[in-house]
Amino acid sequence: MSSTLCNLHPPFTFPIQQTRISLKSHYRIDLFRHKNSQLQFFNSNRRFHHHSSIKSVSVNGYPVKKEEEGSLKRYEEGWLKKWVEFVRYILPGGEWWRLSNEGVDGVIVAKPVTVLVALKRMWELIAQDRWVIFTAFAALILAALSEISIPHYLTASIFAAQSSKIAVFHQNVRLLVLLCITAGICSGVRGALFGIANMILVKRMREQLYSTLLLQDISFFDSETVGGLTSRLGSDCQQVSRVMGNDLNLIFRNVLQGTGALVYLLILSRPLGLCILATCVTLSTIMVIYGRYQKQSAKLIQEITASANEVAQEAFSLMRTVRVYGTEQQELGRYRKWLEKLAGISLRQSAAHGVWSFSFHTLYHSAQVIAVLMGGMSILAGHITAEQLTKFILYSEWLIYSTWWIGDNLSSLMQSVGASEKVFQLMDLSPSDQFTAKGSKLQRLMGRIEFRDVSFHYPSRPEVPVLQHFDFVVCPGEVVAIAGLSGSGKSTVVNLLLRLYEPTNGEILIDGYLLKELDIKWFRERIGYVGQEPRLFRMDIGSNIRYGCSRDVSQRDVEWAAKQAFAHDFILSLPNGYQTLVDDDLLSGGQKQRIAIARALLRDPSLLILDEATSALDAESEHYVKVEKPNILVKTVHNLYSNLLLLHCK
């Protein structure tokens, strides 16, 4: 029979080879053979009705049907295994729920902070106004006790009216009115005071964080991104702002009300109370697991948000470059990459909240059913009354919902703690030694500069030496030039002289004294500096020129400095003159350089440093930029048009 079938359907024998098939390729070919052979068997049965179903077929001695059954079995087993793995992957506790910061480039993960440690740090920030917290907690206690008493008197009033106990009814109604008024007033006071405490907390946290960042070494800002730091000041501190006004407020209120409800339930009926307590314990266990997961995810969200902010800030600050090179889609792709990571974490957060909500509602309704069943049986047995059962159901709902609110706000608290970890890590940074050490102040800065065997490499690039055994002496009254190729270390010499960085080896002396032993604030007050790319603050031009000047200066002094920098005429041509509000992008490079030179001259410095400060000026403007009374003029150059390099003049 098998021979006849093969003759009737030659295509059936086409894919079958005369040699044995290796095990490695057997699976794919068996699937093809199985599909074809089923089709041929179906056609054969339709054409030959009198034949029984074929149980085995052999071609050239090979059992085709058995191979097909084996491949089908392996296929079904593989399919079932994949489904089992998929279910295990997405179920709570599976691989899908794991959070990882892999691929988050440039993100510094903070050390974990416990809830108690975070709350202690927050208390230290607000301790000066502790009366606000104490008054808020007093109002919270009164409001919670008033609210938890309302179901008792509400039920008592209903059953008193049903029993025609008029005196008891009126008494309960008066108490209900008093409790409602007390609860309303205390809740309003509580909310207002916790909001004030929250405002104080966020203000002081941002203030302390900002002051700490301002006192860090320049090398710190070489390793940290501007977008990341502004994200800590902005979104992270804002996330922490929910702690006082929302999380702790509601957690303590519901803890008090839940405890009161539990005590009342145990007094009414111990068996029913223990049943509801078991439900709350189960909810609490799920709540702890959920809270830890939310803390971890919130911490990762803050890190990814900081990275996304850095990408956006970089694109906005370089928008002219982005527009000229037409890389809008490329920048959008960079930003979208972080948004996709953020969406993935948020998706898991939402799924975790769904599991928590499912657990709560399932246990809540189960507790209701159990309470009604056991309460009804107790009424039938004469152990409790209908009034007691009504009170029990009301307070059991109160207890379960208090547990729900505790879990929900504890999750929010965990997110805030996760967001605060990086903030507290930055706040714990020690200020630079330049600001803590008290150095010497010279009676007069003469202007002798000496570099002795100075070597230096930037902290972010320790393997790339910039200066090696560099010796350099400038005496008062000398004219000295520093010239070299781009990247040869000319600006590094200026950075070391300004003590923005410390030498790796060697010493820098000013008038024979070690630079590191001088009072850095006193020394910098006597320096005027104009960098290669001067930046302006978003304020009026007059304030930009006055910026950093330690002495009181008049408008006449400001105009004098602007004239020396050949900036007075173009400033007067602006709509509001010296009151014109400007920022970095509203003036040309040459105009910004002239304002920066005027700023440096206004300080009447003993040491004036210009680092290629006239590179953006035209020939006429550069000719009129005059320096009348400096002791030292240092000017680092890269092109032939800047012909004064390092100049000392009396």
Encode 374-396 in three state secondary structure: HHHHHHHHCCCCHHHHHHHHHHH
Helices (H), 241-327: 242, 249-268, 270-317, 319-325
| Angle, CA of 380, 382 and 388, to the nearest 5° | 95
The helix or strand, by DSSP H or E, that contains position 181, with its residue range, turns out to be helix 166-214
Question: In 97-132, which positions are buried (b, 16+ CB within 10 angstroms) versus exposed (e)?
Answer: beeeeeebeebeebeebeeeebbebbeebbeeeeeb
Tokens of 286: 């799920």
The pLDDT of residue 75 is 65
Compute the distance between CA of residue 544 and CA of residue 582 in angstroms, rounded to an integer.
9
Per the CB < 8 A criterion, the answer to whether 532 and 491 are in contact is yes
Per the CB < 8 A criterion, the answer to whether 136 and 197 are in contact is yes
Tokens of 72: 């089908």
How far is residue 28 CA from its own chain's centroid? Answer: 49
For the chain, domain boundaries = 2-90, 115-427, 449-648
Q: Which of 232, 434, 489 is nearest to 224 (CA)?
A: 232
List the beta bridge partners of residue 451: 472, 508
Q: Which architecture characterizes domain 449-648 according to CATH?
A: 3-Layer(aba) Sandwich (3.40)
The pLDDT of residue 235 is 79
Compute the distance between CA of residue 268 and CA of residue 76 in angstroms, rounded to an integer.
58
- CATH code of domain 115-427: 1.20.1560.10
The contacts of residue 559 (CB under 8 Å, 6+ apart) are: 568, 578
The helix or strand, by DSSP H or E, that contains position 372, with its residue range, turns out to be helix 328-381
Question: In 344-378, which positions are buried (b, 16+ CB within 10 angstroms) versus exposed (e)?
Answer: ebeebbeebeebbeebbeebbeebbebbeebbeeb
Q: Give the total residue count for the chain.
A: 650
Compute the distance between CA of residue 94 and CA of residue 206 in angstroms, rounded to an integer.
38
Q: Is the pTM of this model over 0.75?
A: no
Half-sphere exposure of 315 (CA within 13 A, CB side): 18
**DSSP one-letter code for 431:** P
Compute the distance between CA of residue 613 and CA of residue 203 in angstroms, rounded to an integer.
39
Residue 145 exposed, middle or buried by CB count within 10 Å (0-12, 13-18, 19+): middle
Tokens of 340: 């996709």
Half-sphere exposure of 441 (CA within 13 A, CB side): 7
Point out the residues of the chain with pLDDT beneath 50: 1-57, 59-60, 62, 105-109, 626-650
The pLDDT of residue 2 is 40
Compute the distance between CA of residue 599 and CA of residue 298 in angstroms, rounded to an integer.
45
The pLDDT of residue 278 is 86
Tokens of 272: 């029913």
Tokens of 229: 């730091």
Compute the distance between CA of residue 155 and CA of residue 159 in angstroms, rounded to an integer.
6
The contacts of residue 450 (CB under 8 Å, 6+ apart) are: 472, 473, 474, 508, 509, 510, 512
Half-sphere exposure of 79 (CA within 13 A, CB side): 6
Tokens of 601: 């001259």
Compute the distance between CA of residue 8 and CA of residue 40 in angstroms, rounded to an integer.
10
Q: Which of 83, 16, 8, 75 is nearest to 40 (CA)?
A: 8
The pLDDT of residue 477 is 64
